[in-house]
Amino acid sequence: MSRTRSFFGGAIFAYLYQACSMLIGLWLTPFYIRTLGSHDYGIWLIGMQVLIFLLLCDFGVLAIVPRDVARAHGKEQSEGSGELHKLVGQTIKVVGIQTLVIALVSIGVFFFRPPTAAAIRGPISLALLVFVLTFPMRLFPAVLQGLQDLKFLGQLRLCMWAVSTGVSVVLLILGARFWALACGWCLQQIVHDLVAFHRLRRVRPDLLTFAVLQSTGPFTWRWFLRGLWVNVGQIGYGLGAGTDLLIIGRALGPATVVVYSCTIKLITVLQNQPQILASVALPGLSHLKASEPRQQVLHKTISLTQAMFVMIGAVFCVVLAVNQQFVMVWLGPKFFGGLELTYILLLNFLVRQIDYTLSLALFAFGYEKPLTIRTLLDGIVTFGLAMILVRPFGLVGVAIGALCGGLCVALPTDVFLYMREFKLSFVGVFRPYAPYLWRFAVVGIAGLAFAAQFHAPNWFNLTVITTFVVVAYLLLVLPYAWRTPLRGYVEPTISTLRSAVPTRILGWSNNG
């Protein structure tokens, strides 16, 4: 029961965070553009994208800590194993070495930055310094996630986002420009990880002792191999999903980066909704593998992915109908990249989310190596095609590159691995999800036809279109979902929602 409450408490606060960040973000983006200008805001987006690539220097260790901690914690509860202490001790030593690598790479990024980054040299330097100093502390929230202290992490993330956003806005109003954005980002990184450290010391002080470090024995380089395949996969993911802004900025200029970012904004924000559910559930799937038979795990995995499909379809149908009017009302026609770009981005979103539901289960069951090879090939195809197509086709070429990578590499590979892991046929893989897909198509087409009747973009028309699509979606999709095994997980969940929301900020109780 405590794990169930933690799961849904974490999901509730994660969704609350997304809702707040989405609503405030709708105001912040035009505020940033007015304050900094399209060109400078594009430069900031490109500069911050570079920080994402620094995470590749962690060799994938931190990425698999939640999953490995969940497994070790399951064995600790069932067998009394001391594997969890050993795992945490080894990871602390590995992260210490990784911090040195991160520092060296950050120095290289500082001295070999592109010429367009000269305007943000100081703020980016501050961000790089904080990134290096706080990198070892990223271990603490990762361990808490593995221990499924999800409600606390959701509250913490929400609070830190609110504080850092407020600081950035105040400093921007005072004229701090790039320094305002850098200070807000740095504040969030520092305080978030420090509070996570304090929480871990309260709930599991036995994991942060000198005896734990001693129990691991001398440092060995093979500890890095634990996350090697994940790290290579991160490189592939970075090539596929983290280079679009860099490619556009190099080929078409920083101002075009803002157009692309605004056109894809609604997709980017809303696609986090199903992914939140997946990320919160990942430690639980790893825990199930160590304690339940394969068929039971498959049953629960299908229910989880069906829940994700319900949210994926809602995002697809809403964005398909309203994206053009949304961007025009929000920022103006010059920031909309076109209907063709929207359609391709949505197709890529749908393909990637379907693939994500499969790869989630595969990762929880230890498929790092094949998933890594797939991700690397996907990244190479996506990056290569985007580089080739951006000149002749512009922003549409970048979107086509991503779509081809998903259709030709990612989805076929994961379908094959999923079939092999659960002993399913090709039809058996898609049977639980096919009824959702045609319903998505029906609601999406109906939404487009309804939106075509409203030619003047304004907030009233946008609200009417969104309401129509949501109601049509609920009437067509939810009755079917209620007839699936997913209902068996939703009904008992409703009774726990009231107790999932704590009455104190940051739930400091060990039982929270």
Per-residue pLDDT for 2 more than 50?
no
- Taking the C-alpha atoms of residue 97 and residue 139, their distance in angstroms, rounded to an integer, is 13
| Furthest-apart CA atoms within the chain: distance in Å | 70
* For range 347-355, the mean pLDDT: 89
| Residue 230 pLDDT class (50, 70, 90 cuts) | low
Distance separating alpha carbons of residues 202 and 188, to the nearest angstrom:
21
Q: Note the pLDDT of residue 250.
A: 84
Q: What is the sign, positive or negative, of the torsion defined by CA atoms of 213, 216, 218, 223?
A: negative
**CB under 8 Å, gap of 24 or more: what pairs does 173-179 form?**
177/35, 177/36, 177/40, 178/36, 178/40, 178/44, 178/119, 178/120, 178/122, 178/123, 179/122, 179/123, 179/126
Ranges 101-105, 121-125, 208-212, 271-275: which has the least confidence: 271-275
pTM over 0.75: no
Task: Give the number of other CB atoms < 10 A from CB of residue 421.
Answer: 18
Is 299's pLDDT higher than 80? no
Cα 31 to Cα 281: distance, rounded to the nearest angstrom: 35
In sequence order, the 6+-apart residues with CB closer than 8 A to the CB of 399 are 341, 344, 345, 348
Give the least confident one: 68-72, 350-354, 371-375, 449-453. 68-72
Helices 178-203 and 38-54: angle between axes, nearest 10 degrees? 30
Report the pLDDT averaged over residues 360-374. Answer: 77
CB distance 199 to 152 below 8 Å: yes
pLDDT bin (cut points 50, 70, 90) of residue 501 is very low
Please report how many Cα atoms fall inside a 13 Å half-sphere around the Cα of residue 349, on the Cβ side: 29
Higher pLDDT, residue 250 or 468: 468
Query: Residues 166-202, buried b or exposed e (16+ Cβ, 10 A)?
Result: ebbbebbeeebbbbbbbbbbbbbbbbbbebbbebbee
Residue 508: DSSP 8-state: -
Name the range with the highest mean pLDDT among 2-16, 57-71, 273-287, 441-455.
Answer: 441-455
Question: What's the average model confidence in pLDDT over 275-291?
Answer: 57
- Between CA 487 and CA 494 the distance in angstroms is 11
Q: Tens of pLDDT along 15-58?
A: 566 666 667 777 788 888 888 888 888 887 777 776 666 666 66
- Residues 419, 504: Cα–Cα separation, whole Å: 45
- % residues pLDDT > 70 (the chain): 75
Top pLDDT among 437 and 490 is at 437
Beta strands in 143-270 (DSSP E): none
Question: Is residue 282 pLDDT above 70, yes or no?
Answer: no
Between 426 and 282, name the one with better pLDDT. 426
Q: Render pLDDT for 119-137 as a digit per residue (tens, 0 to 9).
A: 677 887 888 888 888 888 8
pLDDT for 196 equals 92
Helix (H, G, I), strand (E, B) or coil at 257: helix
Segment 287-309 shows an average pLDDT of: 67
Do residues 176 and 35 make contact, with C-beta atoms less than 8 angstroms apart?
no
Six-digit token pair at 395? 């922003």
pLDDT for position 4: 46
User: Which of the pair, 111 or 287, is modelled with greater confidence?
Assistant: 111
The beta-strand segments (E) located in 34-183 are none
Is 468 strand, coil or helix? helix
Virtual torsion, Cα 323, 328, 334, 340, nearest 10 deg: 20
Check pLDDT > 60 for residue 512. no
In the DSSP assignment, the letter for residue 137 is G
In the prediction, which pLDDT does 224 show? 62
**Tokens at residue 366, please?**
């230890």
CA 258, chain centre distance (Å): 21
Mean per-residue pLDDT over the chain, rounded: 79
